[in-house]
Structure 1
Amino acid sequence: MRYDPFGFAALMGGVFFQLRGRDPVAGGYMLSSAVIQLVTGVGLIWARSSLDLPVIETKMGVKLALDLLIAVTALVGMRNKQQWAFYAVGTLTAAAAVVAVAWT
């Protein structure tokens, strides 16, 4: 099963870009990228199931839970401007990519 790279690339690209600065904080780009990752993940599940292709429900459930957690953490970090949320979003995004790619 392929992993959707659009939300991941936007999130991790933003994380690496902000790590160059002094005080990285979660911004609006993280929230919109997390929503894109969540929507495309749901769309991928819907498309595969409508075409009668195999879907690993447990894997996709874990992936969607991580995507939802990323979106909520990005929202909280964007509103409170705290660094823990920035690092949490980066870590959760990497974890979601590992789940998507390594879980067979």
Structure 2
Amino acid sequence: MQTVGPFYLNGKIILMEALRYAFLVFHLFGFAALLGGIFYQVRGKDPVTGSYMVTSAVVQLVTGAGLVWTRISLDLPVPHAKMGVKLALDLLVAMTALVGMRNKKTWTFYAVATFTAAAAVVAVVWK
């Protein structure tokens, strides 16, 4: 019986490929938590940056690094310029969210939202 699928090669599971998909799922969860929190806060009168934004930004950073690491380990192509821009945007999101969590200023919330939207555009549009 031959087993086929995205995690199998000649009937054997490729653990690194499974790890890459796990990083991808958690990366998307981090983005969903960040964007969901932004949409939730926008509904209020004075949106502020919460600790969930910092946590989500750290999840984005860690899983993004894991995705690049697994792609390099599997000899898959890595667009280094795109990953550098994504890293810079994710660092801006994390630092701005941390500052906003401490200061509770509205501008930091909108900066986090803008940097998050820019990171999403870079991820989708840049091939």
TM-score normalised by the chain length of structure 2 = 0.78
Alpha-carbon distance between aligned partners in 1 of 2:45 and 2:28, rounded to the nearest angstrom: 28
SS at match of 1:26: coil
Q: Which ranges in structure 1 are unaligned for 5 or more consecutive residues?
A: none
Alpha-carbon distance between aligned partners in 2 of 1:88 and 1:8, rounded to the nearest angstrom: 16
Alpha-carbon distance between aligned partners in 2 of 1:6 and 1:101, rounded to the nearest angstrom: 16
Alpha-carbon distance between aligned partners in 2 of 1:103 and 1:18, rounded to the nearest angstrom: 29
Task: Give me the identity figure in percent.
Answer: 72
Q: Give the aligned partner of residue 70 of structure 1.
A: 93
SS at match of 1:24: coil
Kindly state the Cα deviation for residue 20 of structure 1 after the two structures are TM-superposed.
Answer: 1.1
Alpha-carbon distance between aligned partners in 1 of 2:43 and 2:29, rounded to the nearest angstrom: 22
CA offsets, 1:54-99, max 9 Å, x none?
0000000100110011000000000000000000101100100110
Kindly state the Cα deviation for residue 8 of structure 1 after the two structures are TM-superposed.
Answer: 1.3
Kindly state the Cα deviation for residue 6 of structure 1 after the two structures are TM-superposed.
Answer: 1.8
* Greater length-normalized contact order (CA 8 Å, ≥ 6 residues apart): 1
- How many aligned residue pairs are there? 103
Q: Give the aligned partner of residue 23 of structure 1.
A: 46
Q: Give the aligned partner of residue 66 of structure 2.
A: 43
Alpha-carbon distance between aligned partners in 2 of 1:84 and 1:49, rounded to the nearest angstrom: 37
Q: Which amino acid aligns with 1:101?
A: V
Task: Verify: 1:101 aligned to 2:121, yes or no.
Answer: no
Q: Which ranges in structure 2 are unaligned for 5 or more consecutive residues?
A: 1-23
Match of 2:82 among 31, 40, 59: 59
Q: Which amino acid aligns with 1:16?
A: F
Larger Rg: 2
Kindly state the Cα deviation for residue 36 of structure 1 after the two structures are TM-superposed.
Answer: 0.4
Which 4+ residue blocks in structure 1 deviate beyond 4 angstroms?
Answer: none
TM-score normalised by the chain length of structure 1 = 0.95
